[in-house]
Amino acid sequence: MAVETSENYKIEQFTLEEKDFGRFVELITAAFLADEAAQQEGATIVFNEPTFRIMFGAPSINRELFVRAIYKPTNEIVGFLGTINKNLSIDGKVYKSAIPSWLCVHPKHQKQGLAKTMGEKMLELGQQAGYEAGFSFHEPEQHGIDTSQSVARETNIPLMRLVSLNKYVIRIFDTEAAAQVVKVKWYEKLVFKLKEKIKPVHSPVFRLYQPDDFEEIFNLTKELVARADISIIPEKEVLKWMLGNPNVLCVIHENTDGQVDGYILAWEFLLAGFGKKIPFGWLDSAHVYKLRKKEIRDLANFLSQEAVKRGWKGLQTPYIPYFNAKPFVKANFIFFKKKLGIDLFNWSGIELPKKAKTMYFYWR
């Protein structure tokens, strides 16, 4: 059932189809590039169809859980909100949950209450579909947290902080290219330049993922989930699908018995700002808890080495402290202060730990 927000707009559920990927790529890109923070600082993510497919093309995606805003005078789609369904484990108990993702409104149709109404519609659909919670990622300087808080007030659903992160990690391979799309101070640019160099890795124990590695990689992932107080549980079919995606880079380490005992996974996106865009890598997950510090450092260097071959100008991710950061610093990764909150729409009354000691999240 559509929600009529005014005589000009309606909000409705729709079924995502492959043929529509292109139009939503254009809408998300237009909205993100028009964002005030993006215009001042750059460093925004823009979509192409491969990125959209990584987000919403997995076999597990519930393609019924999508919401759009329609401008009735022209029947134009001017707003989008997708969902990525993921199970959430808290203190060993698993909850059926989902992430409302990539909420956007076309710049010409903002400040009409469309984002809030799409959020309300999505929560209604999620509850009807049997989900127990929804969680979102919020940067303090963006408008997403304001929208989520407004939706929570309107629906009387508690919005609770699950995790607060305060660092990002980046690795720059081409400072000049990065400086074209990100506002960089002169001394930051100098640091990036000094840390561009990659120490070559030639040992055969570091190599690219092969399909025969999958079961060992999935077992490593399950072990990491079991160690965490709070974690997103990767689905086996989704991880296998991701590893087969040509825009995904996975590097592994073998032990002396030829078994995979560590891996790092990243995927390609476009980093944009000031009218330009460059290929970049999103560091999705790092499963290195069985490796020695030197092995972690060398695996991080091997990741960088392979990323450059793909034409990526750098890597980035919010830092979740389930992996040891120090070896990454030795591999010229840079950690800097930047806040990100993970908040839970808790309509099922899930009991949250007062403070989680360990956590594991992956980003897709």
pLDDT (0 to 100) of residue 4: 60
Residue 344 pLDDT grade (very low, low, confident, very high; cuts 50, 70, 90): very high
> Could you write out the three-class secondary structure of 39-88?
HHHECEEECCHHHHHHHHCCCCCCCCCEEEEEECCCCEEEEEEEEEEEEE
- Whole-number Cα distances in Å, 93 to 87, 97, 299, 358, 362: 10, 12, 33, 15, 18
Across all residues in the chain, what is the average pLDDT? Answer: 92
Residue 100: CB atoms within 10 A of its CB come to 26
Task: Give the confidence band of 38 by pLDDT, cuts at 50, 70, 90.
Answer: low
List of residues 6+ apart from 215 with CB closer than 8 A: none
At residue 112, the pLDDT reads: 92
Mean pLDDT of 105-118: 94
For 44-76, the pLDDT digits (tens) are: 888 899 999 999 999 999 999 999 999 999 999
pLDDT at 141 over 90: no
- Rounded CA-CA distance 142/262 in Å is 35
Q: What whole-number distance in Å separates Cα of residue 139 and Cα of residue 73? A: 34
- pLDDT category of residue 6 using cuts at 50, 70 and 90: low
Do 146 and 40 form a contact (C-beta atoms < 8 A)? no
Q: At what angle do helices 144-155 and 114-128 cross, to 10 degrees?
A: 60
State which H helix or E strand residue 218 sits in.
helix 214-227
Burial of 30 (0-12, 13-18, 19+ CB in 10 A): middle
Tokens standing for residue 75: 């029947």
Instruction: Decide if pLDDT at 274 tops 80.
Output: yes
What is the token pair recorded at 116? 């809030």
182: DSSP letter: B
- Residue burial 125-163, b: 16+ Cβ < 10 Å; e: rest: bbbeeebbbbbbbbeeebbbbebbebbbeebebebeebb
Which DSSP category does 113 fall into?
Answer: S
In the chain, the domains with their CATH numbers are 3-165 (3.40.630.30), 167-338+353-358 (3.40.630.30)
**What residues contact 328, with CB distance under 8 A and at least 6 apart?**
169, 296, 297, 300, 335
Q: What is the pTM of this model?
A: 0.93
Amino acid 1: pLDDT: 61
> What is the rounded average pLDDT of the residues 160-166?
90
